[in-house]
């Protein structure tokens, strides 16, 4: 806080420079919904400061070369002057926006409004003063619904009156900046308003700012009637006060409540503001929406089930979040100057017993800063726990059902999800359940008020968490809940608004249907998965995101292959093969070796299954088996390249099972080829044996898999005997390790 010393107004650049720079910096932060109060008793100094501020934030002319994104971020500051016939702060802002055609949401960001002239209202009638004070009650609705920012210049007498009569406006402040100079004249006592407003009284019907915006605000500019010729009688009368504008003013305070409010005490005095350590630190109000990395959780494509490692415990439990007093800034964040300043400011607000909305907005800004500094891949437990606790504190004071409240719940639910994914968490289920309940709370409390895109994002995240919870608890029920959530998400995220979001949701919905087919109604859910993947592909062109397009094609192939196990096998396997081959156009060994290996493995299995159908015989069967062999070889080659990375990626399939499958296909080719193709048959038998021995390298510690492998080796030895006699069989047995030889001989 700037020291309270008497200074000449002409020396403000020396003595008041620090406060001015703090005010300027507060505006440069470009935070949302700022209400900055600047206090100055010196009228000349106030004018100089306001002019200087307006000059500092004047946009550069078009002749100055600037990148479009830089020019779009330029701050515009508009100065509005109140007067005796126009004392309503909110109406002046709306009038300017109406005249400038700036009410459409598609236009650039609303400028900062600098409000001056309030010092002159000190000398006006109680009615005029009351209209000004009443307008302050509606400022919070203006900031919230228009996302605008205000700098309000007041002299010290008005500051005391505002704190006393409109405490809601005072609690909504985002910063207080006091400038010291010589008052232009002794302070004039503020008249007690004849009809003082009643602040913070809940209205029966919430104000609808947008009805005001749709009205024709040109009537606000009605010229005042021409003054009458003064006579001795007229000269003794008070000047007439212009009547209020006869338009629906749904932001106006309750008139009945205003009439029955008692006059404020000590009308001629003013309250001296205590100069705390944090008065010059600006409180950033509600920040941007949730970061996309947490608001839109990562989707997993449906691959064959794999065993995931079980995480270990972390210190924080979902039922023991720290209370406000016990909350400490983690060392990981203490070095962050911006975040540390805000943390210190919040401690000052707590000590000063600031209003709940002011505190909640401060906590929300702090939580969003902490959230943005999280690493999604490996979030620090201390930072994650801190951000989670701060969001809990923020939500406690935000208006239920508001966009900020829903965004905060969405972020908090995503943080719970991250807590459950932390390495070392023994049981992630409680965190995931808490994430689900938090998403559902946001949807229940704000479904009628929050934007459709926000609803779509929350429903999509809810579906994702239900899908994760299905791995741990009541899978069928959780997957059904996930389907319901994704279907709601699609209602609020139509393809026309965002084709990519729509395609991602359809892909996720397809994955859930595929998983549900493992528990109930397989044909129904697999058919639904096929439909969902088809919709995703229709709205995700390959040229825009080739690898994502290939992923969905791979998923579609899996759905077709799974459905072929129940009906129309030849037709559906051919569809699966077409989908896999479409994916491999983009999932190449060079571009995505791990993805190429997984899809090629799936393709080999589809060809092998097709070759087993009775309708596929003769030359077609041989050709199909050869294509299966080629696909498996591609999968093995791609896997070898992928596993060279550090750390090696998860392939999503059992590499040794692919070796075994390749051996089985080679054996079948040796049996299916004509007797005249002796060399080819021998080559296939030898290759099959080599693939089995490769599989043994990975399976030798798994008795169940070894048993499968011994069956394949016995089959290979029998085929070698049938085609090449005892020498062929002896060649096979001579290559077997001792521990396998004894078991194979017992089976021959």
DSSP string computed for 134-179? HHHHTHHHHHHHH--EEEEEE-HHHHHHHHHH-HHHHHT-SEEEE-
Q: What's the pLDDT at 143?
A: 84
Q: Which run of H or E residues covers position 35?
A: strand 35-39
Q: What's the pLDDT at 412?
A: 93
Q: What's the pLDDT at 537?
A: 95
Question: What are the domain boundaries of the chain?
Answer: 9-198+209-220+247-259
pLDDT in tens, 413-443: 999 998 888 877 788 999 999 999 999 998 8
Q: What's the pLDDT at 103?
A: 60
pLDDT in tens, 144-168: 777 788 999 999 888 888 988 888 8
pLDDT in tens, 171-187: 788 778 888 876 655 44
| Superfamily the domain 9-198+209-220+247-259 falls into | P-loop containing nucleotide triphosphate hydrolases (3.40.50.300)
Among the residue ranges 73-82, 218-227, 539-548, the one predicted with the least confidence is 218-227
pLDDT higher at 260 or 578: 578
Q: What's the pLDDT at 586?
A: 96
Task: pLDDT band for 122, please (50, 70, 90 cuts).
Answer: confident
Assigned token pair, 690: 């080599």
Q: What's the pLDDT at 104?
A: 53
Helices vs strands, H then E, count in the chain = 31, 5
Cα–Cα distances in Å, from 182 out to 19, 45, 155, 185, 679? 17, 9, 12, 9, 108
Q: What's the pLDDT at 15?
A: 60
pLDDT in tens, 480-536: 999 999 999 999 989 988 899 999 999 999 999 999 999 999 999 999 999 999 999
Sign of CA dihedral 300, 302, 304, 305: positive
pLDDT in tens, 343-370: 888 887 788 777 788 788 888 888 888 8
Q: Which run of H or E residues covers position 126?
A: helix 126-137
Residue with tokens 């946009």: 59
Spatial distance between the Cα atoms of 417 and 409, rounded to a whole number of angstroms: 12
Task: Report the range out of 305-314, 442-451, 477-486, 739-748 with the highest average pLDDT.
Answer: 477-486
Spatial distance between the Cα atoms of 703 and 660, rounded to a whole number of angstroms: 15
Spatial distance between the Cα atoms of 60 and 546, rounded to a whole number of angstroms: 42
Q: What's the pLDDT at 328?
A: 83
Q: What is the model's pTM?
A: 0.65
Task: pLDDT band for 452, please (50, 70, 90 cuts).
Answer: confident
Q: Is residue 294's pLDDT more than 80?
A: no
pLDDT higher at 545 or 104: 545
Residue 502: helix, strand or coil by DSSP?
helix
pLDDT in tens, 11-35: 445 567 888 888 887 787 667 778 8
């Amino acid at each position: 806080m700037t020291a309270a010393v008497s200074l000449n107004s002409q020396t403000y650049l020396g003595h008041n420079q620090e406060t001015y720079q703090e005010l300027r910096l507060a505006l440069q932060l470009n935070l949302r919904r700022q209400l900055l109060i600047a206090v100055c008793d010196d009228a000349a100094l106030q004018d100089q400061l306001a002019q200087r501020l307006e000059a500092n934030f004047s946009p550069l002319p078009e002749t100055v070369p600037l990148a479009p994104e830089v020019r779009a971020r330029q701050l515009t500051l508009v100065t509005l002057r109140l007067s005796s016939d126009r004392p309503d702060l909110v109406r002046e802002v709306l009038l300017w926006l109406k005249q400038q055609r700036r009410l459409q949401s598609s236009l650039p960001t609303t400028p900062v409004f600098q409000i001056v002239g309030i010092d002159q209202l000190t000398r006006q009638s109680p009615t005029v003063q009351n209209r000004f004070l009443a307008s302050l009650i509606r400022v919070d609705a203006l900031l919230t619904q228009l996302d605008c920012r205000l700098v309000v210049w007041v002299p010290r007498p008005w500051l005391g009156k505002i704190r006393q009569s409109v405490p809601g406006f005072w609690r909504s402040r985002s910063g207080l900046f006091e400038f010291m100079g010589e008052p232009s004249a002794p302070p004039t006592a503020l008249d007690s308003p004849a009809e003082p407003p009643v602040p913070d009284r809940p209205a029966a019907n919430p104000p609808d700012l947008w009805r005001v915006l749709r009205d024709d605000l040109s009537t606000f500019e009605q010229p005042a009637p021409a003054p009458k010729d003064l006579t001795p009688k007229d000269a003794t009368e008070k000047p007439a006060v212009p009547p209020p504008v006869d338009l629906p003013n749904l932001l106006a305070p309750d008139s009945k409540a205003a009439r029955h409010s008692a006059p404020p005490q000590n009308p001629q005095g003013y309250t001296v503001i205590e100069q705390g350590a944090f008065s010059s630190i600006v409180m950033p109000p509600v920040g941007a929406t949730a970061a996309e990395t947490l608001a839109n959780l990562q989707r997993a494509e449906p691959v064959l089930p794999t065993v995931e490692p079980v995480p270990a415990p972390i210190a924080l439990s979902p039922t023991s979040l720290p209370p406000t007093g016990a909350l400490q800034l983690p060392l990981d964040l203490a070095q962050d100057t911006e975040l540390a300043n805000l943390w210190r400011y919040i401690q000052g607000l707590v000590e000063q017993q600031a209003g709940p909305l002011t505190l909640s907005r401060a906590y929300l800004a702090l939580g969003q800063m902490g959230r943005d500094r999280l690493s999604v891949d490996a979030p620090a437990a201390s930072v994650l726990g801190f951000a989670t606790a701060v969001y809990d504190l923020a939500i406690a004071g935000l208006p239920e059902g508001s966009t900020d409240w829903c965004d905060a719940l969405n972020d908090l639910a995503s943080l719970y999800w991250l807590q459950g994914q932390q390495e070392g968490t023994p049981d992630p289920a409680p965190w995931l359940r808490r994430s689900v309940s938090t998403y559902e709370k946001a949807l229940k409390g704000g479904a009628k008020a929050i934007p459709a895109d926000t609803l779509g994002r929350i429903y999509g995240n809810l579906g994702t968490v239900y899908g994760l919870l299905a791995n741990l608890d009541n899978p069928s029920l959780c997957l059904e809940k996930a389907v319901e959530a994704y279907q709601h998400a699609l209602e609020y995220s139509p393809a026309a608004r965002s084709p990519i979001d729509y395609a991602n949701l359809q892909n996720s919905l397809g994955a859930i249907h595929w998983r549900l087919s493992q528990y109930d109604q397989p044909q129904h859910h697999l058919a639904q998965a096929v439909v969902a993947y088809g919709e995703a592909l229709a709205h995700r062109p390959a040229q825009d995101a080739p690898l994502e397009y290939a992923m969905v094609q791979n998923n579609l192939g899996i759905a077709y292959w799974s459905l072929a196990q129940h009906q129309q096998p030849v037709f559906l396997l051919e569809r699966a093969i077409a989908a896999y081959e479409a994916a491999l156009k983009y999932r190449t060994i060079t571009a995505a070796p791990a993805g190429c290996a997984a899809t090629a493995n799936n393709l080999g299995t589809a060809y092998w299954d097709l070759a087993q159908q009775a309708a596929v015989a003769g030359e077609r069967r041989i050709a199909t088996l050869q294509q299966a062999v080629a696909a498996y070889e591609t999968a093995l080659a791609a896997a070898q390249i992928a596993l060279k990375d550090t750390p090696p990626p998860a392939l999503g399939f059992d590499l040794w099972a692919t070796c075994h499958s390749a051996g089985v296909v080679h054996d079948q080719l040796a049996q299916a080829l004509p007797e005249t193709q002796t060399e080819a048959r021998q080559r296939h038998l030898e290759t099959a044996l080599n693939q089995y021995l490769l599989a043994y390298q990975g399976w030798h510690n798994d008795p169940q898999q070894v048993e499968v492998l011994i069956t394949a080796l016995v089959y290979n030895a029998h085929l070698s005997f049938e085609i090449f006699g005892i020498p062929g069989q002896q060649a096979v047995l001579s290559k077997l390790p001792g521990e396998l030889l004894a078991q194979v001989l017992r089976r021959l």
